[in-house]
Amino acid sequence: MKTVVILDFGAQYSQLIARRVREAGYYCEIVPYDRPWKDSLALDPAALVLSGGPESTLAEGAPTCDAAVFASGLPMLGICYGMQLIAREVGAELVSGGAPEYGPATLRVLDPSHPLLAGVPEQSRVWMSHGDSVQRLPGDFTPLAATPRCSIAAIGSKKRRMVGVQFHPEVVHTEYGKQLIENFLREVAKITPNWAMDSFLESSVAEIRERVGGRRVICALSGGVDSAVAATLVARAIGEQLTCIFVDHGLLRKNEAKEVLAAFRDVLHLNVIHVDAAERFLAKLAGVEDPERKRILIGHEFIAIFEEEAAKLPDVGYLVQGTLYPDVIESKTPQSKAGHKIKSHHNVGGLPEHMNFALVEPLRALFKDEVRALGRVLGLPEHIVARQPFPGPGLAVRIIGAIDEERLEIVREADAIVREEIERTALDPHPWQYFAVLTPVKSVGVMGDGRTYANLVAVRAIVSEDGMTADWARLPHDLLARISTRIVNEVPGVNRIAYDITSKPPATVEWE
């Protein structure tokens, strides 16, 4: 398959660039900037995108790519640092410092006839990010756009299919960013769209059948959209050769275990082994307050139970995992010094090597929104496809401090009220994730004629595209009032509600 190759120079938005390319209908992959070009040829590259990055192209030892990249003759889009790298490579004049520009700016189109800017109005809002500036261009390059503080904010060559922008078209703050990326792919690179879920489904089914043959395959089900889509896709390919194992650790939301089992057995018609291990997990977690320790204990116990169940099945050769493309990117130690390992704790391989199963990761090339799209193509019910993200350790990370049955019941009932009230309210935008957190704080209150000393529950609701960044949801006051009133009146042991109005960053989505 023809691939749009994104060279990552340590940009925080590289995944967003990839998502925008995929949304435009083109397959793409992100590779480190210093990857030898001969290794990238295996991807059958059709066009190149050079990402932004934190470095200066004028600094000694500034990151650069294999010279063969520029000699390839492929269409090329440089973004931020990528534009300056193209400019430096072709002999433009760059200057350091001067009037750096970070944040919103008004873009003024200088050459509306250039295909890169087709459909982009004379003035629009963009998200700028630069300390260095391009001052003078060689003869075959011309300025395409400017901002009040950047006289050359976009460049293009009359002879070569090379363009660059000093702003970030991949972020939502740039009004016509998606249009610009599509223009590069369709009008500048002139490549044909090749990325659709129907064709991905067809090719994936064929690949799974060929790889697995007649061996038995197992899959760990969590109830989340990733494992549901992965299991359904594999079942489409090999049918009864797949056995799913659902380990209920007792840390799920209200009625969730029953709903998950009903969905997988009755709706998706999967072969599911249900393991009720709630008491076993609670025993392991007794008295544990440290959040990282909770995660480790839950992960190890889950693996132990999964191993026990898998050992009961004959001729198991493969294990299905719902690994996504962001997991693959974030879990790789970069080959370059420009980036940083984001998830040092994340193991894409998942379960221990001594289990001796070969991995089947059918979603490995997909982003979260693409997984949902694939789920719809597979015919999964919308309540499964649109299910909000839920952490693997479950409610354990939504209880600050030690876990016991009483505290689990409090957060479970409070969470159910939060979800019920938000889901029956028409909101635009609808929150991406919303839940309750049981804090370790107790406060004085008055209920009836008596004094209480009870728990504080925090409510969290965010809006986001993918969870990488998020803002707190501006829920209507009457909705917040209903949530607060219901939790205090219906959940024993709670007398105060707080609403979390912190974005990510600086906070994370979850509290632990």
The runs of H, that is alpha helices, within 311-394 are: 325-331, 368-377, 382-385
Question: Hey, is 455 helix, strand or coil?
Answer: strand
Residue 226 identity (one-letter amino acid): D
| pLDDT for the residue numbered 355 | 61
Q: Can you tell me the distance from the alpha carbon of 294 to that of 512, in angstroms, rounded to the nearest whole number?
A: 10
Within 13 Å, how many C-alpha atoms sit on residue 3's CB side? Answer: 16
Tokens of 75: 């269409």
Let me know: does 49 contact 82? Beta carbons within 8 Å.
yes
Name the residue with tokens 């600094």.
Answer: 59
Let me know: does 323 contact 284? Beta carbons within 8 Å.
no
| pLDDT for the residue numbered 346 | 34
Sign of CA dihedral 396, 397, 403, 408: negative
Q: Can you tell me the distance from the alpha carbon of 364 to that of 380, in angstroms, rounded to the nearest whole number?
A: 19
The runs of H, that is alpha helices, within 97-187 are: 177-183
- Spatial neighbors of 312 by CB under 8 A, at least 6 apart, are none
Tokens of 307: 């191993």
Name the residue with tokens 């354990």.
Answer: 396
CATH fold for the domain made of 207-385: Rossmann fold (3.40.50)
Q: Answer yes or no: same fold for 207-385 and 399-499.
A: no
- Which top CATH class is 399-499? alpha beta
Number of H helices, E strands in the chain: 15, 20
Q: Can you tell me the distance from the alpha carbon of 319 to that of 1, in angstroms, rounded to the nearest whole number?
A: 26
Residue boundaries of the structural domains of the chain: 3-188, 207-385, 399-499
Let me know: does 93 contact 136? Beta carbons within 8 Å.
yes
| pLDDT for the residue numbered 348 | 37
Q: pLDDT tens, position by position, for the chain (512 residues)?
A: 899 999 999 887 888 899 899 999 999 999 999 999 999 999 999 999 999 988 888 888 889 999 999 999 999 999 999 999 999 999 988 888 666 667 899 999 999 999 999 999 999 999 987 678 888 898 899 999 999 988 999 999 988 899 999 999 998 889 999 999 999 999 999 999 999 899 899 999 999 999 999 999 999 888 788 999 999 999 999 999 999 999 999 999 999 899 889 888 888 889 999 999 999 999 999 999 999 999 999 989 988 898 898 889 998 999 998 888 877 765 543 433 443 333 333 333 345 555 667 889 999 989 888 999 999 999 998 888 888 888 888 999 999 999 999 999 999 999 999 999 999 999 999 999 999 999 999 999 987 777 889 999 999 999 987 676 789 999 999 999 999 999 999 999 999 999 999 999 889 899 98
Alpha-carbon separation of residue 155 from 79, 121, 275, 363 (angstroms): 11, 17, 60, 37
Alpha-carbon separation of residue 469 from 265, 507, 511 (angstroms): 35, 10, 15
Provide the CATH number for the domain formed by 3-188 in this structure.
3.40.50.880
DSSP character at residue 253: -
**So which residues are the catalytic ones?**
80, 168, 170
Q: Can you tell me the distance from the alpha carbon of 394 to that of 9, in angstroms, rounded to the nearest whole number?
A: 35
| pLDDT for the residue numbered 333 | 34
| pLDDT for the residue numbered 80 | 92
Query: Where would I find the beta strands (DSSP E) of 56-100?
Result: 76-79, 93-95
| pLDDT for the residue numbered 352 | 52
| pLDDT for the residue numbered 474 | 97
| pLDDT for the residue numbered 325 | 83
Sign of CA dihedral 9, 12, 13, 15: positive
Q: Can you tell me the distance from the alpha carbon of 31 to that of 17, in angstroms, rounded to the nearest whole number?
A: 12
| pLDDT for the residue numbered 20 | 93
Q: Can you tell me the distance from the alpha carbon of 86 to that of 152, in angstroms, rounded to the nearest whole number?
A: 13
Q: Can you tell me the distance from the alpha carbon of 279 to that of 121, in angstroms, rounded to the nearest whole number?
A: 62
Q: Can you tell me the distance from the alpha carbon of 74 to that of 48, in angstroms, rounded to the nearest whole number?
A: 7
Write down how long the chain is: 512
